[in-house]
Amino acid sequence: MSRRLRILVVFLLLAVSVAGCVEDTTSEPETPGSPSTDTDGSDSSEENGDGQDGTDTESNTIVVTSVVDGDTFDIRYPNGTTDTVRLLGVDTPEVYSEVSPEEFGGANEACLDTWADRASSFVERRVEGQNVRLEYDENEGRRGYYDRLLAYAYLDDVHLNYQLVRQGYGRVYRDSEFRMKDDFLEAEGTAQEQERGLWGCESGPTGSEEAQQTPEEDMDCSDFETQAEAQEFHETHSGHGLDGDGDGIACESLP
């Protein structure tokens, strides 16, 4: 082999060796559907736990900020959004407008006015400033005539709507086909039979002497020193809200 040919062979071998050592720096294209590392497209939607308008889930927990009356209160969601809830299936006497005696068995207005205030006080004592779970009814629209949320309210395991009916603070709202209507009607029937709460009001025109009788003073657990004392009163007087969870035991926090 000539000297020139040997030099050419050596040169070619060196070229091949150098080419094999060069690192491929070409990036691999991103696989379709794989997570992107681009942080500029992150989701900026604010989580509410209940959707954009606070009503997209079947249940959610909120804080009751103020009580309007016995069946209506204002709420705040975790993200700061506010709304108003109308308790589903129950109707308490009006506080800020005239009551309708015919809706409450013909009870006199003076007595119903008293129970309107008592219903509001009962709800305030139970839920104002508390975390409450709301649940909605598939048989009803999410919002009512005044654009208020229609919901059941639960404080722990206590069903507020049901307790208002059971203890005689309000009547069943009959112009509705909510899924718990039969249970509410049964509770209302028992309250009427036992003359609990407003069902103990005398009927008759407001101006009559009978109608002007003032209902007994509303009592709560702070008016008793012991649970036994509260229990005795509870078993002989209705409509004072001493049995908040409906288990038959009054003022369980008392000694």
- pLDDT tens readout for residues 169-212: 999 999 889 999 999 999 999 999 999 999 999 986 654 444 44
247 vs 78, higher pLDDT: 78
Give CA–CA dist 252/233, Å, rounded: 14
The stretches of the chain forming alpha helices (DSSP H) are 3-21, 109-127, 160-166, 181-193, 227-236
Candidates 232, 102, 112, 67; CA nearest to 174 is 102
- pLDDT tens readout for residues 109-140: 999 999 999 999 999 999 999 999 999 999 99
Q: Is the dihedral of CA 62, 64, 65, 67 positive or negative?
A: positive
Q: Average pLDDT over the chain, rounded to whole? A: 77
Helix, coil or strand: residue 64: strand
- pLDDT tens readout for residues 208-228: 444 444 455 667 787 765 666
Helix, coil or strand: residue 229: helix
Residue type, 156: D
* Percent of the chain at pLDDT exceeding 70: 62
